[in-house]
Amino acid sequence: MKTADLIIAAGDASADMRYATGFSTSDAYIWLRVDGKCMMLVSALEFDRARNERKKHVEVLRDTDFTSLVRPTFADTVLGAASKFGIGSFRVPSNFPLGIADRLRAGGVKLMAEDGAFFPEREWKDADEIRMITDALRLAEKAVMHAREVIGSCSVTKEGVLQYQGEIFTSEMLRREIDLILAAGGAMPTGTIAAAGIHAACPHDRGSGPIRAGEPIVMDVFPRMLKNGYWGDLTRTVVKGRPADVVQRAFDAVCKARDAAKKALGPGVVPGAVHRAAEASMTSDGFPTGRSENGSYYGFFHGLGHGVGLDIHELPHLNPRGIKPLRGGEVITVEPGLYYPEWGGIRMEDMVYITADGAECLTQITSDFVIE
């Protein structure tokens, strides 16, 4: 009996499914690879669109081709395919649906969940993928440039609060301005961060409430393009007016660590070593990392970066545990940050493509900090 590869997922929800077929759906469908031949099994509702949008090497079949049932379940269809092709076991992703797995096992087939990446080759991007990621990044840059203009147009009340078009300017309003640009550019805004002041001390706090002059504003923008599913990722920190001395020094330390890390990257480089060098750089500049008496973290307490592609966070990971050397072809972020509850946070993020002999920065937007 043969072993085949199997995914059951929606194209919108599964990067592996999107990678395997090129077909985006809100509902789940079936992908099989048998004897090196790829096929997708879809309902009548999706059949014609699947034939038009699939990757060329993937054959499109109806799910009813493998069972006499009028409304087959996924398990019915897969068991029918297993019988037709002589399949005794399937290799599946680690997040394969448990209920379907139980039914397939009850039907007599074995399932082997992949411990690591289902498609390890996703880590290394080809020219088309680089182009699609760069397109998403350009849209993120456009949104951040617009946000800078909006912040620049704000007045400051006598209480030190920003005001925009006669209203108190909030993180929610800033996020809306960013997300409108992303949506107009054909992307899905997903979790945009526009966090100011003490909200920026928590790296994934999306931000809320009025924005004040002199406090750092972290804008982390990561659009997913609707057309192809690829992501961009960009973070810039700005301040309206004059920042406190410690905030300016933190900004300078983060940019210094980021730029040194980008220069250090290339084939053969161990990610963990670059992360540790960035942390040491910021510590030597007067910004240590640790935990306070109440258990809160401060300083630089997240990874230096991560791969980007059909997932916003994918291999490789630039963190202290990253021991596998880069080989070339990866697209990764470099995003050191400093976070202190007394005044907020700073994060600056660029995207980098690891070339055959070094690294190319894909990000073009400037790192300007102070907005008058």
**Rounded Cα gap, residues 31 and 22, in angstroms:** 11
Q: Which two tokens stand for residue 250?
A: 């933190």
CATH fold group of domain 123-371: Creatine Amidinohydrolase (3.90.230)
Per-residue pLDDT, 41 = 97
SS3 at position 157:
coil
**Rounded Cα gap, residues 241 and 163, in angstroms:** 13
Per-residue pLDDT, 280 = 98
User: Hey, how many other C-beta atoms are within 10 angstroms of the C-beta on 252?
Assistant: 13
Please give the model's pTM, rounded to 2 decimal places: 0.94
Per-residue pLDDT, 288 = 97
CA distances from 295 to 240, 290, 291 (A): 31, 9, 6
> Which residues have a Cβ under 8 Å from the Cβ of 227 and sit 6 or more positions away?
186
Q: Identify whether the C-beta of residue 238 lies closer than 8 Å to the C-beta of residue 371.
A: yes
**pLDDT band at residue 309 using 50, 70 and 90 as cut-offs:** very high
Q: pLDDT for 272-299, tens place per residue?
A: 999 999 999 999 999 999 999 888 999 9
Kind of pairing between the strands at 87-92 and 110-113: parallel
Q: Residues of the chain with pLDDT > 90: what percent? A: 95
Query: Is-same-fold flag (2-118; 123-371)?
Result: no
- The answer for 204, left when phi > 0, alpha when psi is -120 to 50, beta otherwise, is alpha
Q: Which amino acid, residue 292? A: S
Domain boundaries, the chain: 2-118, 123-371
What's the rounded mean pLDDT across residues 193-221?
97
Q: Identify whether the C-beta of residue 177 lies closer than 8 Å to the C-beta of residue 192.
A: no
SS3 at position 321:
coil
CA distances from 256 to 46, 201, 241 (A): 51, 20, 22
Q: pLDDT for 105-148, tens place per residue?
A: 999 999 999 988 999 999 999 999 999 999 999 999 999 999 99
Please state which architecture CATH assigns to domain 2-118: 3-Layer(aba) Sandwich (3.40)
Q: Identify whether the C-beta of residue 342 lies closer than 8 Å to the C-beta of residue 353.
A: no
Whose tokens are 């970066």? That residue is: 305
Q: Of the given ranges (22-26, 66-70, 278-282), which has the lowest mean pLDDT? A: 66-70
- CA dihedral in degrees (359, 365, 370, 372; nearest 10)? 170
SS3 at position 138:
helix
Q: pLDDT for 318-357, tens place per residue?
A: 999 999 999 999 999 999 999 999 999 999 999 999 999 9
CA proximity to 67, closest of 76, 59, 55: 76
Q: pLDDT for 154-179, tens place per residue?
A: 999 999 999 999 999 999 999 999 99
Per-residue pLDDT, 185 = 98
**pLDDT band at residue 71 using 50, 70 and 90 as cut-offs:** confident
Q: Identify whether the C-beta of residue 346 lies closer than 8 Å to the C-beta of residue 243.
A: no
CA proximity to 220, closest of 199, 231, 210, 206: 206
CA proximity to 208, closest of 179, 170, 238: 170
Q: Which two tokens stand for residue 200?
A: 């920026």
> Which residues have a Cβ under 8 Å from the Cβ of 153 and sit 6 or more positions away?
164
